[in-house]
Amino acid sequence: MTDAPAHTPVIWHVTGARPNFPKAAPVLRALEARGWAQRLVHTGQHYDDNMSTIFFEQLSLPKPDLNLGVGSGSHAVQTGTIMIRLEELWSAERPALVVVYGDVNSTVAAAMVTSKLGIPLAHVEAGLRSFDRTMPEEVNRLVTDRLSDLLLATSVDAVGHLAREGVDGDRVVLVGNPMIDTLLAHRDELGRHRLAGVPELAGLSGAYAVATLHRPANVDSDAALAGLVAALRATADQVPVVLPVHPRSRGGLTRAGLFEHPQVHAVEPLGYLEFLSLVDGSALVVTDSGGIQEETTVLGVPCLTLRPNTERPVTITDGTNRLVTAEGLADAVAAALAAGRPAQWKVPPLWDGHAGERIAEAVEALLR
């Protein structure tokens, strides 16, 4: 990004994993339009090209000013390595403000460094709660929100969570969902990318389902994985399933025999536009991802979330999402296929393509 004079206040953005990039893109653009000097750090938490680099290309994100290249590792190793490198960076060049996104290890690492150095922090996607502390992301959300100076919420329920936790209301702004800004900005392109989005490459025709799985609770336990694979095989008995395989999930799913089913089509992780095109053309999605619950809500695609809880309940009340168990998945798939795609559905307030602009306004108000 463009160099700024030493005396110019600089806003730093920290991204690290695939879900961060479509959230950051509209915020970077909106702040640039207001004339703010910015720097972008990519921690390298996701380092596969289709997990990160291709997102920068497709979303026209600026080349990161710094790539920490931390790679894989345990939560402690990832978080600690990122903290060490960010502390060195920001001790030498102090930001006016740091903006973090979502709930990944990069997010909480940056939050702890800014707190120790006395640097103001803004958290995009503040206030989301699953109330399940067995999820590493829930711990990351709680810590980041506690340390943030500006809490930028995507939904009304998130604002309510922060109020109940005693956060000063003056620090909380309901801005909408910047990831939806990115989706809506590329909505008209999705059909053009569907040829690269796998149905034809997998020899499919007609209806298909998309599945994504990576949560430790689903893929790291042999018992849970066995039930999950049985459920997905029962789903594939009803409709072909296309599964972009997350690197951390591939080994377990292969050993459990999922890909032996002729109707399960495993593919490498896809780029942003290719994946959304695949989802947009599907009959339904089976997932344990947070962001996909939001994207299907806007696209009007039935979404079956294999989790006992969600930090995004607004996608159930104002969207197309529902929570299911592995045992109940086959019946839920049958019902979704019978019902078809909805003709009309509710979308949460302020998921309108202008969240980035509202975030830029809130950030500018804090700094000025």
The residues that are catalytic are 214
Which residues does 31 contact at the CB level (< 8 Å), separation at least 6? 11, 38, 360, 363, 364
* Half-sphere exposure in the Cβ direction for 64 (13 Å, CA): 19
Please name the helix (run of DSSP H) or strand (run of DSSP E) that holds residue 173, with its range, or none. Answer: strand 172-174
As given in the structure block, the two tokens for residue 363 are 């950030």
Q: Which candidate, 287, 234, 277, 214, places its Cα nearest to that of 48? A: 214
Tell me the CB-side half-sphere exposure of residue 290, using CA atoms within 13 A.
Answer: 23
SS3 204: coil
Helix (H) / strand (E) element for 114: namely: helix 105-117
Give 165-171 contacts, CB < 8 A, sequence gap 24+: none
Q: How far apart are CA 278 and CA 190, in angstroms?
A: 8
How many Cα atoms within 13 Å fall on the side-chain side of residue 37? 11
Do residues 154 and 176 make contact, with C-beta atoms less than 8 angstroms apart?
yes
Residue 281, both tokens = 């053309």
